A and B are shown apart, each in its own frame.
Chain A
Amino acid sequence: MDPLLCLLLLPLLPLIAAVLQPWGGRWGATAGVVASLASVSCALVLLSADQITTWAQPWVPSLGIELRLRADAFALFMCLVVSGAGAAVTAYAGGYFAGDPGRPRVIGLLLAFQSAMLVLVLADNLWLLFVCWEVTSVLSFLLIAHDGTPAQRTAAKRALLITGGGGLALMGAFALMMAATGTATLSEFTTPLHDHPWYGWILGLALIGCATKSALFPFHFWLPGAMAAPTPVSAYLHAATMVKAGVFLLARLHPALGGSTEWQLILSVMAAFTVAFSVAAMPRCDDLKLMLAYSTLTALGIIAALLALESEQGALAAVVMILAHALYKGALFLTVGSIDHGTGTRDLRRLHGLFRYMPLTAIAGLLGAASLAGLPPWSGFIAKEQAKLAAIGVGWLTPMTLFVGGIGVTAAAVCVAYGPWHHDRRRPALPAHESPWSLTIPALALALAGLAVGLAMPWVGEHLLQPAAAAIAGESVAEVLEPFPTTPGKIVMTLVVLGVGIVLALARRRVAGWTRHLDLRLAARAWDAGMEWSLAVGRAVTRVLHSGDLRTYVSVALLAMVAAAGVGLASSQSLPRPPVDPLPFTSLPILLLVAVAAIGAASAPHRLSAIACLGAVGYGVALLFVWYGAPDLALTQVLAETLLLLLLVMAFRHLPTAFGARRDRRWWNLGLALVVGASVAYVTALAKGNQLSESIGGEIAARSLVEGFGRNVVNVILVDMRALDTLGEIVVLAIAGAGVAAMAGSGTPQDRPLARSLLLSTSLRVLLPLLALTGMFFYWRGHNAPGGGFAGGLLLASGIVLAGIALGAGVARRLLPLGDPTKREAGALRLAAAGLGLAACSGIPGMFTGGVFLTPLWGEFAGLKLGTPLLFDLGVMVLVSGVAAGVVLSLAEAEPQEPHS
């Protein structure tokens, strides 16, 4: 088979099986097993190929992110471990979760995890590796919390926070590495970075990332907690695969980061602490699964210690250890799951005499325990011997670590092998039954594989382990050892370790007593205290800021605004003085009017006078617009202000009449208002004299007629040059219109006039067509003279509103085109939607002439210059008329209804 195809299928097959799980039914697990085994065979095909298969595809080229896979021997070795254990665990999960409605979910997540893990080990790009790293963290979170019990949720949160935080550190390390070398391709990191000034940071961050994932000291505490997860999940993630990702990355990064004293020292100290902690904790475990978790910590510490040696022997020993550990720990976890399932407990103090009830499970457990204890000819024995060989002549710390760890896991193995299977006459037999085939076979398969690998050792070593170790160490390595002790010294050593382990296991209670003053949960408690502290800080801040009182929110926002302006001003050398221009006497009356009206609105004792003052401000501003060369603005302002006043009056009918300031926080309000007003005035006065760049207004004006065929520059900007902005703004208008219709829409159509006036209703016959015509006229001349779609739309809307006042809102609605008499809101909203559609569609024709969306098209028709911007403006007018008329009529129809309390 084509190696490239194999490389792509390898991670893809489990993913496909994962996606198919919801439809898999009872065949879901089978499909997962088949996919995993197919992945295994893909890895074997690649392993037998002569050269290293690579594949690359650009992903985000500008950031150096590439989909780049590289199947060297170490990656393929890890693939075999991941997919092989994956096949066993998937089969096991199929039986373990039988009857659980969440079974497709958990199997799908396990397979997705397998796929992510495969890409992680195959990745040759830092960022691809990082993405998979994070994906495994998230999937681990979802899998731990599968049943959603409180203990699982706590454990899942803790694991996610720690591994996610480690992921952030790793991202920092990767970014620094990429900045330091200019490449993100992992296989190109061949020269050590020790002399780089950032080396300390890179090393520290990378070690944090690896240590969190592999639960090395001081991040070891999440792994025992994660045992709250369902057992298949623990077997796969927290023994066989995910926790290996950290040590895998250590091995991958060592060409770039290794070779320094810091690397060796920090790593071996971390490893030593991890091993010491786990060995001290193991005797105190009565829970079989927890004991296995601590022995996993020991194994991870040993692997890290071996990698810290940076020798060929160390690499080889680490590889053998990874394989042996995945096989025996996977088998033991599955066994414990079966025991839990068969008896309902995992407590060593209660378990005994299970051999006769569950013989197959017992055989799997005993085979696994033998490998864990390091008995010949199991693979665990070879791992132990390789480690000893690597530790010759490397100081005292690593040999001590290996020795203590070896004794610890041997003791654990004796507990696991003896505890549940021995028969105790003094105690009543536990009710138990053998597990179904789907549970026993995977456990047996893993356990037997552990034995088979040991027996087939010279061959397996030559074809799998030595190439993998060579891929780490960068050179060919010595041969793997025989699965039997060859010298008397080795036999004695093995027996001594075994003997000490047995003694320790038998004296477990007493040993546990020795360490009773040791606080095993110190790190976990410190972490939890930190989390609770941060939550408490969050609550305290929330209590201050989130008071439920609008005034607090407004005050905070305004103070922040003033502070931002203050910081900006304080950072300039001298406080700039605004330019003082001669007082414009002619506009002074208008300015005075606006100022007085604004103060009036703020201090008015009655609501009608306040509304009147607000109107005066609006009309005064319109006059200012006229004065300062903005006729379009003036027109729009007058129309919008008029409709706004109507809106206010209609809405205020339904609100309490009491008005006027209540006298609390008066000075605070006044002070804050003055501070905000003063800073706005100051910044506004400075703005014109402190432009960062020349305004493009002149340029736009120069091009307006030539390119936009319009003499009214403001309108050309709105419908042509910045038409996309305008489109966004009319979308906002449409949303606001729909929102008002939805919120005010409890009333019924009313044909009752709001104001009964014969004069008004009679003159409407003339007024209404006149207003409609004027609106259209505004629109039509807008491109060359004051007017435009916004003003035209507002004028059309005011005609409708006038009809609503004189004849009733229901009558006015029937005047709207596109109306539907059975649906109250439909007319106005449909009008708005039609306008929006027209405006958006007017941008499409330009795309066929090679331009982007909203590129204008112009043509001459019978002497008239016509183009798509005119259609756009028409859409604006239709939309504005629909929204404006709709909101006023909605509020006019709102029932004057008493509050229900």
Chain B
Amino acid sequence: MTALALVTGIVVACGVYLLLQRRLLSVILGLGLLATGANLVVFAAGGLRAVPAFIDAAGTPAAGHADPLPQALVLTAIVIGFAMMAFALALALRAYRHLGDDDLPSWRDTEPPLEAHDEHVPDPRPEESAAEPRRPSTMRLPVMPPTEDER
């Protein structure tokens, strides 16, 4: 039990270490290790017994059987982990094709720079320019231009 917990910790630590690397490949491998580590946490948290949870010929559960509930959770988690890895790989390939670099810090430029929002144009005070847009006396109102451009 304690030994398994220790090994779980090692798997998770290695996964985290890989996840923090700059290389795309390392990050994906780290994700895989983390998924395995998470499965181990759930599995170990349910307690460990050597006897599988099966009903014997007499119709009663085997004596001292393992807890089946965490096992059921982990079983679907394994398959979902596989699908998640496939998704991450497809995403990584796509991103690499578009960005041409597998160095993650260089992807920083793909997000819009925060500075674009920083150029803070003070809003006009409505008290000072309370006028609503002129409605020409013919009452033919021009369609308002896109408002974002006005800033």
- Complex Cα distance, B6 from A224, in Å, reads 67
Q: Is A149 an interface residue (CB 8 A)?
A: yes
Whether the Cβ atoms of A154 and B126 lie closer than 8 Å is: yes
Q: Which residues on the A side are within 8 Å of B140 (C-beta)?
A: 99
- Complex Cα distance, B55 from A711, in Å, reads 5
Provide the A820-848 mask, 1 if CB < 8 A to any CB of B, else 0: 00000000000000000000000000000
Whether the Cβ atoms of A539 and B118 lie closer than 8 Å is: yes
Minimum CB–CB distance for B39 against chain A, Å: 7
Provide the A866-901 mask, 1 if CB < 8 A to any CB of B, else 0: 000000000000001001100110110010010111
Question: Which residue of B69, B124, B139, B147 contacts A148 across the interface (Cβ within 8 Å)?
Answer: B147
Minimum CB–CB distance for B129 against chain A, Å: 5
Whether the Cβ atoms of A617 and B71 lie closer than 8 Å is: no
Comparing A32-40, A116-124, A211-219, A599-607, the segment that makes contact with chain B is A599-607
- Complex Cα distance, B97 from A743, in Å, reads 11
The 3 A-B pairs of least Cβ separation, nearest first, read: A677-B13, A681-B9, A899-B100
For window 122-143 of chain B, which residues contact chain A by CB distance below 8 Å?
123-127, 129-135, 137-141, 143
For window 103-126 of chain B, which residues contact chain A by CB distance below 8 Å?
104-105, 107-111, 114, 117-118, 120, 123-126
Whether the Cβ atoms of A591 and B4 lie closer than 8 Å is: yes
Whether the Cβ atoms of B147 and A153 lie closer than 8 Å is: yes
Minimum CB–CB distance for A741 against chain B, Å: 8
Q: Is A567 an interface residue (CB 8 A)?
A: no
Asked whether A148 and B130 contact (CB < 8 A) given A644-B32, A654-B93, A880-B79, the answer is no
Whether the Cβ atoms of A665 and B45 lie closer than 8 Å is: no
Q: Which residues on the A side are within 8 Å of B143 (C-beta)?
A: 101
Q: Which residues on the A side are within 8 Å of B85 (C-beta)?
A: 644, 647-648
Question: Which residue of B20, B114, B133 contacts A551 across the interface (Cβ within 8 Å)?
Answer: B20
Q: Which residues on the B side are within 8 Å of A578 (C-beta)?
A: 2, 5
Asked whether A713 and B53 contact (CB < 8 A) given A151-B130, A602-B18, A611-B29, the answer is yes
Asked whether A704 and B27 contact (CB < 8 A) given A147-B133, A672-B20, A681-B8, the answer is no
Q: Is A656 an interface residue (CB 8 A)?
A: yes
Q: Which residues on the A side are within 8 Å of B33 (C-beta)?
A: 598, 601-602, 614, 617
Asked whether A226 and B55 contact (CB < 8 A) given A665-B20, A894-B93, the answer is no
How many B residues face the partner with a CB closer than 8 A?
121
Question: Which residue of A676, A701, A790 contacts B12 across the interface (Cβ within 8 Å)?
Answer: A676
Minimum CB–CB distance for B113 against chain A, Å: 9
Question: Which residue of A227, A580, A676, A737 contacts B130 across the interface (Cβ within 8 Å)?
Answer: A227
Minimum CB–CB distance for B3 against chain A, Å: 6
Q: Which residues on the A side are within 8 Å of B132 (C-beta)?
A: 147, 149, 152, 228-231, 340
- Complex Cα distance, B128 from A524, in Å, reads 12
Q: Which residues on the B side are within 8 Å of A601 (C-beta)?
A: 14, 18, 29, 33
Whether the Cβ atoms of B65 and A629 lie closer than 8 Å is: yes
Whether the Cβ atoms of A891 and B90 lie closer than 8 Å is: yes
Q: Is A23 an interface residue (CB 8 A)?
A: no
Question: Which residue of B70, B75, B82, B92 contacts A632 across the interface (Cβ within 8 Å)?
Answer: B75
Q: Is A433 an interface residue (CB 8 A)?
A: yes
The interface of chain B, by Cβ under 8 A from chain A, is 1-30, 32-33, 36-37, 39-41, 43-56, 59-61, 65-72, 74-76, 78-87, 89-94, 96-102, 104-105, 107-111, 114, 117-118, 120, 123-127, 129-135, 137-141, 143-144, 147, 150-151
Q: Chain B residue with minimal CB distance to A224?
A: B127
Q: Is A547 an interface residue (CB 8 A)?
A: yes
Whether the Cβ atoms of A701 and B61 lie closer than 8 Å is: yes
Q: Chain B residue with minimal CB distance to A233?
A: B132
Whether the Cβ atoms of A887 and B72 lie closer than 8 Å is: no
- Complex Cα distance, B61 from A631, in Å, reads 16
Q: Which residues on the A side are within 8 Å of B41 (C-beta)?
A: 680, 683-684, 687
Whether the Cβ atoms of A548 and B14 lie closer than 8 Å is: no
- Please name 15 further chain A to chain B contacts, defined as beta carbons within 8 Å, in addition to the given A149-B144, A595-B7, A644-B32, sorted by A numbering: A147-B144, A153-B123, A230-B132, A549-B108, A611-B29, A614-B32, A632-B71, A632-B75, A655-B92, A669-B21, A736-B84, A736-B86, A740-B87, A740-B89, A899-B99
Comparing A132-140, A384-392, A407-415, A692-700, the segment that makes contact with chain B is A692-700
Question: Which residue of A149, A230, A546, A712 contacts B114 across the interface (Cβ within 8 Å)?
Answer: A546
How many A residues face the partner with a CB closer than 8 A?
163
Asked whether A677 and B9 contact (CB < 8 A) given A554-B20, A629-B51, the answer is yes
Q: Chain A residue with minimal CB distance to B3?
A: A591
- Complex Cα distance, B50 from A718, in Å, reads 21
- Complex Cα distance, B61 from A773, in Å, reads 30
Q: Which residues on the B side are within 8 Å of A624 (C-beta)?
A: 4, 40
Comparing A489-497, A726-734, A810-818, A856-864, the segment that makes contact with chain B is A726-734
- Complex Cα distance, B22 from A803, in Å, reads 36
Whether the Cβ atoms of B79 and A794 lie closer than 8 Å is: yes
Q: Chain B residue with minimal CB distance to A290?
A: B130
Whether the Cβ atoms of A743 and B91 lie closer than 8 Å is: yes
18 residue pairs bridging A and B, Cβ less than 8 Å apart: A98-B139, A346-B131, A554-B19, A580-B2, A591-B4, A595-B10, A602-B30, A643-B82, A644-B82, A681-B10, A685-B1, A687-B44, A697-B69, A697-B70, A701-B68, A714-B75, A739-B90, A788-B75
Minimum CB–CB distance for B114 against chain A, Å: 6
Q: Which residues on the B side are within 8 Å of A230 (C-beta)?
A: 132
Q: Chain A residue with minimal CB distance to B129?
A: A151
Whether the Cβ atoms of A726 and B114 lie closer than 8 Å is: no
- Complex Cα distance, B55 from A336, in Å, reads 87
Whether the Cβ atoms of B17 and A618 lie closer than 8 Å is: no
- Complex Cα distance, B111 from A389, in Å, reads 67
Q: Is A543 an interface residue (CB 8 A)?
A: yes
Q: Chain B residue with minimal CB distance to A100?
A: B141
Q: Is A344 an interface residue (CB 8 A)?
A: yes
Whether the Cβ atoms of B76 and A729 lie closer than 8 Å is: yes
